[in-house]
Amino acid sequence: MPTYAFRWTGEEAATEVELPDEHAAWSQAVTTTGELLREMDGAFPVPGALEMEVKDSAGHSIVWISVQARRGHH
């Protein structure tokens, strides 16, 4: 099974996970991002950003998820 490296921006080391294919890596990235946002329980910094990159075993970026928050002025 292929290995994919998941890394949050700002983290030194990636977490390597064996998954069947790129589709599974995409699903895992989306699920993990959603879980982290839920765990923050409204404590996402404003302005703030959360980014995850997933690379395949050859080092190619196959997923990039970015969540940004900012407040508008009335």
pLDDT tens sequence across 42-52: 787 778 888 99
* Angle at the Cα of 50 from the Cα atoms of 14 and 35, rounded to 5 degrees: 80
Distance, CA of 19 to CA of 35 (rounded, Å):
19
What pLDDT is stored for residue 71 in this prediction? 81
For residues 11-28, give the mean pLDDT: 95
Return the amino acid letter for 36: L
pLDDT exceeds cutoff 80 at 17:
yes
Order across the sheet with 48-55: list the strands: 15-18, 3-8, 48-55, 61-69
Kindly list the domain boundaries of the chain, sorted by start residue.
Answer: 3-69
| Tokens 């989306």 belong to residue | 30
Using a cut of 0.85, tell me whether the model's pTM lies above it: no
